[in-house]
A and B are shown apart, each in its own frame.
Chain A
Amino acid sequence: MSGRGSSSRITDEEINELVTKLQSLLPESRRRNIGRASASKLLKETCSYIKSLHRDVDDLSDRLSALMATMDANSPQADIIRSLLRS
């Protein structure tokens, strides 16, 4: 990370590059929503995307927890997990 020595001033170009990179990480549907957006719109959409990813982790944790409750050591599901860990 920079900061040492001569000017490490951030240029607008670099910020635009980062903003473009961020935009490319959004899923297609969200990208379409914002179109040729301002940075501010993009950041808001990014916030919304992160929140939805957090919700996904939440939901999937619930589902995994429920699945775990039904699993026993000798079930086929346990075999799948064991084989995934082995490979």
Chain B
Amino acid sequence: WRAPPGTRTLTPRFGPSKPMLAFRFLRALTLVHRTAANSSNAARSRRIQRAAFASMAYSAGPRRAWSRALLCRLHFHRARRRCAGRRRAAGVPRRPSTTGSPADGLRRLVPGGTGMDYCGLLEETADYIRCLSEQVKLMQSIVDSVGPGGR
């Protein structure tokens, strides 16, 4: 059976498995806790943020352009860490400028987005949003279960 010419199969992936995402992230958090106990809140927060994007990317694996781009960025940052300057946490996409079409705006926000064709961009964006919102839910549930009672 061959798909009619012109159709693209839309992979119905629903992102990484939640338990794996949770496990990876919690493991990363434990590491941060152990090694950054005496750091400033800001430094620890940056590491946690990096861990969030890292576990997202590792859980999604190399099959997605956005996860590959994130993993590249994270490894690149780690190699450059000793060099001067960058206070911005690796893996966090830059604030985009406001020029260009909405699609260009999206290209700047989704890791690996620049240079993507429109269709690819839409697919990657959908997957990225699914994974990103899962990560946010995970972090929220950790804060809720571990945090001080009532706020």
Question: Which residues of A come within 8 Å of B, CB atoms?
Answer: 1-2, 6-11, 14-15, 17-19, 21-22, 25, 40, 43-44, 46-47, 49-51, 53-54, 56-58, 60-71, 77, 80-81, 84-85
Task: List residues of chain B with CB within 8 A of the CB of A53.
Answer: 129, 132-133, 136
Question: Which residues of B come within 8 Å of A, CB atoms?
Answer: 5-8, 10, 22-23, 26-27, 29-30, 32-33, 36-37, 41-42, 44-46, 48-49, 52-53, 92-93, 96, 101-103, 105-106, 109-110, 117-120, 122-123, 125-126, 128-130, 132-133, 135-136, 139-140, 142-143, 145-148
Judging by beta carbons under 8 Å apart, are A67 and B146 in contact?
yes
Task: List residues of chain B with CB within 8 A of the CB of A2.
Answer: 8
| Main secondary structure on B side of the interface with A | helix
Q: How far is the CA of A10 from the CA of B5 in the complex (A)?
A: 10
Q: Which of B92, B96, B101, B147 contacts A63 (CB 8 A)?
A: B147
Judging by beta carbons under 8 Å apart, are B126 and A62 in contact?
no
| Main secondary structure on A side of the interface with B | helix
Q: How far is the CB of A82 from chain B (nearest CB, A)?
A: 9
The residue of chain B having its C-beta at the shortest distance from the C-beta of A44 within the complex is: B102
Q: How far is the CA of A16 from the CA of B84 in the complex (A)?
A: 46
Q: How far is the CA of A52 from the CA of B32 in the complex (A)?
A: 25
Task: List residues of chain B with CB within 8 A of the CB of A66.
Answer: 41
B10, B126, B130: residue with the most chain A Cβ atoms closer than 10 Å: B126
Q: Which of A11, A61, A67 contacts B49 (CB 8 A)?
A: A61
The residue of chain B having its C-beta at the shortest distance from the C-beta of A25 within the complex is: B129
Q: Which of B26, B109, B126 contacts A25 (CB 8 A)?
A: B126
Q: How far is the CA of A11 from the CA of B6 in the complex (A)?
A: 7
Judging by beta carbons under 8 Å apart, are A57 and B109 in contact?
no
User: Could you list 7 examples of A-B contacts with CB < 8 Å?
Assistant: A2-B8, A11-B7, A25-B130, A43-B103, A57-B136, A63-B147, A66-B41
